[in-house]
Amino acid sequence: MKGTSKYIEGIRTKFPLLNKKVYGKPLVYFDNAATTQKPQKVIDRINAYYNSENANIHRGVHHLSQVATQDYEDARTRIKNYIGADKVNEIIFTKGTTDGINLVATSFGELMNKGDEVLISAMEHHSNIVPWQLLAERKGIVLRVIPIQQDGTLDMDAFHGMLNEKTKLVAITHISNTLGTINPIKNIIKKAHGVGAKVLIDGAQSIQHGEVNVAHLNCDFFVFSGHKIFGPTGIGVLYGKESILDCMPPYQGGGDMIQRVSFDQTTYNELPFKFEAGTPNIVGGIALGTALEFMESIDTKQAFAHENELLTYTEQELLTVEGLKIYGTSKHKTSLVSFNVGTIHPFDIGTLLDKQGIAVRTGHHCTQPLMDFFCIPGTIRASFSLYNTKAEIDLFIHALKKAISVLS
């Protein structure tokens, strides 16, 4: 593709769906914040599991079970190394980011008392709002919201003023899925720890756009979804510090999370299995390990720099469009752009873009309070990954201008 470095073109060849045509047009996939496409390596690993390894894991003495168990636990070890965790038993497999946050809200929430405070921000995904509202209803904790500024950045002065001895947890997104804002989480973690609070980082939008090292961050919890980093849907990870996870009660009951069951008393398994009740998404865990293996095989420094170039180029081109407004103008952003054009509804523009082969997301992006802050129903969101190109952005801008001319 014209305007693409050989390195990025080489990466693109590993993703078969990028060759697809939509309505006779080459697919331009700019919905990566919703889910990423999958490299052939991940697709092949899923097929290989079902073709030659399928068995339930743990406690099986037969060959297939032992192979599947080893592959599943090897994936856990790879994840531990990829995010810089200290111990493999700090890696809990979940269904995704939402499931991980709900686990913490339910289990860690049991350690909270009426009047304790949880801080979240005004830019959070619904998945990092509703679980804490449920906890507030159940336990009487107080949910407080860190305000944001017009450029889509956190009001850090307000945050500092909200911290107090009642603050038990700060649950914050690393990168906004709607604005692209990169939050200063190292500072947030340090300040929160200063008043004895724990910190949960929603890493759904950061895991695929930069290096994550939970030990260096010193966060207490970190959650992400496999499908955001080229893995399958239905699998995710909760990292938690061992000392905290040990104190938390189980999230769900069932197989694998027990040591012994009787009608008088049940004793619970050790970490990480205490939080992994029932038959897990075995192939999902294995394929997530393969996705991280893919990430380790490429020059991520070059790939992340390429993504930043795409962001800069896109914003420059969008600002030439009359009546267009970008939401989220922080100097510290990742590769997505949310915008509207005049009074045209984002759904209408998204529909016409689709007819030209351009896949973007329209709506509130599961951040309705954020939409209320900007007094808008939603936005058009174009989000990029390492396999996207400037040539695709040119097609997108051309299609956008065409859609605007039809709708104006």
Active-site residues, by number, are 366
Q: How many residues are present in the chain?
A: 408
DSSP state of 148: B
9: Cα separation from own chain's centroid: 25
Closest CA to 381 of 372, 371, 373, 391: 371
Q: What SS3 state is found at 294?
A: helix
Contacts of 30 (CB under 8 A, 6+ apart): 358, 359, 360, 382, 383, 384, 388, 392, 396
Alpha-carbon span 357 to 336, nearest angstrom: 18
CB 21 within 8 A of CB 28: no
Q: Residue 297: which H helix or E strand, with range?
A: helix 282-297
Cα dihedral 252, 256, 257, 260 sign: positive
Q: In this structure, are residues 173 and 121 in contact, taking their beta carbons and an 8 Å threshold?
A: yes
Match 């209803």 to its residue by tokens. 137
Classify 241 in phi/psi space as left (phi over 0), alpha (psi -120 to 50) or beta.
Answer: beta
